[in-house]
Amino acid sequence: MTSRMAEEAKDFREFLDQLRSEPGYWKHFTILQFTAAMARLMKKPPRVSGKELAQLLGVAPSTVSKALSGGENLTIETMAKIAGALDAAVYIHVAKKGTAVHWVEDSAYSYPVVSEARVESSSASSGVVIHVPLPSDGVISKQQVVS
């Protein structure tokens, strides 16, 4: 390897380090997490095309395409709407940069979620809320929750 190549490699290493030290890089890292997750979700059965997703959202297909292209700075509201159209939600995990993060979807601990559409059509007063006084030590034990 010539010294010029070694120098170039060193420069590129520094260039990548510098990119990774900037907030813009991590913004796109987050956008990519979302768009990649949406792409995977859309491919799961029943497969949903970009056009069908646009219909579910009531927007033009180009709007969906633009949002999932990675070229747009998505708001949390937009992400929640897009995921919500497929009956999904955005879960967030924050960890040190460079950490290998693996998500596990555990159906054993899943709970039923009433979709927004169903909430709108049901009676809001049908639920029962029980108020329990907080223990003096402020610690809620499992026993107290169950009782």
Partner 1 sequence: MKLFEVAARRFSVLVVYNEEGSCQVMEKMRRVRVEHQDLAYQMGVLLYQEIPDRGLPDDPRRFGRLYDEMIYELKALEYVTPSERLGFRIACFFDGEAIVCTNAFYKKDKTPPDQVSLALRERARYFRDKDLRQIDLISWRPGGQEHD
Q: Residue 12 Cβ, how far from partner 1 at the closest point, in Å?
A: 5
Nearer to partner 1, 36 or 140 (CB): 36
Least distance from partner 1 to the Cβ atom of residue 129, Å: 42
| Least distance CB 46 / partner 1 (angstroms) | 17
Q: Which is nearer to partner 1, 30 or 141 (CB)?
A: 30
Choices 19-27, 76-84, 103-111, 124-132 (CB under 8 A): range interacting with partner 1:
19-27
Q: Does 86 bind partner 1 (CB under 8 A)?
A: no
20-49 positions binding partner 1, by CB under 8 A:
20, 22, 24-25, 27-29, 32, 35-36, 39-40, 43
| Count of residues near partner 1 by CB under 8 A | 37
- What angle, 0 to 180 degrees and rounded to 10, lies between the N-to-C axes of helices 76-85 and 61-68? 120
Q: 3-state SS string over the chain?
A: CCHHHHHHHHHHHHHHHHHHCCHHHHHHHHHHHHHHHHHHHHHCCCCCCHHHHHHHHCCCHHHHHHHHCCCCCCCHHHHHHHHHHCCCCCCCCCCCCCCCCCCCCCHHHCCCCCCHHHHHHCCHHHCCCCCCCCCCCCCCCHHHHHC
The footprint of partner 1 (CB under 8 A) covers 1-2, 4-6, 8-13, 15-17, 19-20, 22, 24-25, 27-29, 32, 35-36, 39-40, 43, 65-66, 68-72, 98, 100
